[in-house]
Structure 1
């Protein structure tokens, strides 16, 4: 919900670049777990409140990594794009931004490449798929495998969708000479359109996800000749879990930055 809301209602450029940072941070975190192989604390004495992720290693915490990277990146990426007045307490924020700003050009280059280069979709799909295959070879099966493939698929889909949207003129970023942007007045119409975009967008995304889930698992099982009587067991095979997660959430990501904005444009709420 967080990333789609940014793309549909706030600032598509910031939303895309936040996703790129999120994918990088989460992928590095998940792979580092399988390289370090730091086991979870013994139980007892530790009380486990969540047993679903028992098969994953403990450190580093990808939640802590993304929980730190996303807010800082959000401040950095929005700085100078909107007319927001900082008080005295904002001076430390400005100093933090000046230190971390060195990393911004890389995100800028990646986003521009994804949107404008003719062969960007092929590169995006190939790179994310190769990273997914690599992560599956680091260790035995665990729940982190599917999470990694899902993250990579989402990132690839959003990047490819932004490429198509850019070439179709669906989502056009404001030119640099118009920055910083003025905050629009908060009206009932503005809030109503924002809520309508979220409602329609999430319905479309959920429908796309359910359709792809029903297609990809049986298809992967059939192609690789893996019994699909027990779906949970079948998904422990890389040949099933990787294409299922990658294709399903790649399509979801593509819908967020291309299909849904096209629907918004068609019905006049973009």
Structure 2
């Protein structure tokens, strides 16, 4: 039975069925064609929705009685959206799983909430994401085929699919936040659990809706994260104490992630997975050095008083201060990225005597050093420099 059940979870038709239930249909050919189909048996339905005709320039125009046609260019699949609530809900949820969200969300928790929680978020996020990304390029299972699946994202289509790192990141962040705060703050654990389940579920389902993963990819991503968190949770406090107090922390935090990035599993084609993994490890590296330095100089920025803490009330003044800290911090991080990326690219390209172009940036010896330098600087500035600036501007 398992020999049938597990492969069925990899069937792209299962993903296409979920998309159609949520009002997303594939349209491969002109609706006027007798061979038209929209996903697995959706052609007749979509024919009632709109009629398309080629225009003079080879693109497509359409008239719609209901729904909408999103065009992806000549010769590429097109799709029909009949339920915009699910469309925007899952596109938003998919954005929550992007690295850019976590690279802004994690520092924000450091500036506006509790560095104790941030340290655990960064550590678990880095471990889970590295193992998830590396697993993709070791297992090498493809993403769902289109057709029958509608694919709403193109950047990561060159990556392999098993496991879903979006599902892993959302599950790790949600439940790490819950576990790190449940004894530290006074709040309803039931509500916290519901929020964690809701976020991880939305992001996981968004990977099906966008056509990027099979059901098995998503399930395995969640289960793998649960196992990793279960194995590491008893050691969170021990590892946190070590990273703050050990004199070897800066050396280990820089050298080990860099070597892990440089020795990332090789592929026979270029994939953004290695670069994304380098970004994740670099951010964690820079943050760890920042955490260590702050502790050495007595700048922990943690709330004080007896545990558990009261959850701060969100007054207009508190909200404005949080927004100010966020805007100042993000501005500094954007400037850091621009400056360090420009300098590191010039240095690395000059070292290897290659021009700075897109092809050069895909090479291992170029991509890993410049991305590691850029994003480790961002992690360090976010945790060590920005809080000092907040103090100087009296925003703390």
Q: TM-score, normalized by length of structure 2?
A: 0.61
Tell whether the 8 Å contact from 2:186 to 2:310 is kept in structure 1 after alignment.
yes
Structure 1 residues 92 and 194: CA distance shift in structure 2, 3 A: closer
Higher strand share: 2
CA contact under 8 A between 1:25 and 1:69: conserved in structure 2?
yes
Candidates 349, 354, 361, aligned match of 1:221: 349
The answer (yes or no) to whether the contact 1:82–1:182 under 8 Å persists in 2 is yes
Which protein, 1 or 2, shows the higher relative CO under an 8 Å CA cutoff with sep ≥ 6?
1
Asked if the contact 2:286–2:380 (Cα under 8 Å) also holds between the matched residues in 1, the reply is yes
Alpha-carbon distance, 1:90 to partner: 7.5
Structure showing greater Rg: 2
CA contact 2:341–2:374 (8 Å) conserved in 1: yes
On the 8 A contact 1:157/1:251 being kept in 2, the answer is: yes
Aligned length, in residue pairs: 261
Unaligned runs of 5+ in 1: 94-98
Shift of 1:42: 3.0
* Cross-structure match for 1:264: 390
Q: 1-side partners of 2:159 and 2:166: how far apart?
A: 13
Deviates more, 1:41-50 or 1:6-15: 41-50
Q: Secondary structure at the match of 1:249?
A: helix
The superposition leaves residues 5-40 of structure 1 with CA deviations (integer Å, 9 ceiling, x where unpaired) of: 210111111012101111111100110001101122
Report which of the two has the higher share of helix.
1
Which residue in the other structure is 2:242 paired with?
113
Gaps of 5+ in 2: 1-103, 196-226
- Spell out, residue by residue over 1:59-95, the C-alpha distance to the aligned partner (whole angstroms, 9 max, x if none): 11100111112111111111111122456x78999xx
How well do the aligned residues superpose, as a CA RMSD in angstroms? 2.3
Determine if the alignment matches structure 1 residue 238 to structure 2 residue 364. yes
Distance 1:92 1:234 in 2: 46
Instruction: Select which of 116, 125, 128 maps to 1:13.
Output: 116
Cα distance between partner residues in 2 of 1:254 and 1:121: 11
Whole-angstrom distance in 2 between the partners of 1:42 and 1:33: 17
Map Cα deviations across residues 157-199 of structure 1 (whole Å, 9 max, x no partner).
1111111111122224357x72111233433322221111111
Partner in structure 1 of residue 295 of structure 2: 166
Q: Contact 1:212/1:248 (CA < 8 Å) preserved in 2?
A: yes
Contact 2:141 2:160 in 1 (8 A): yes
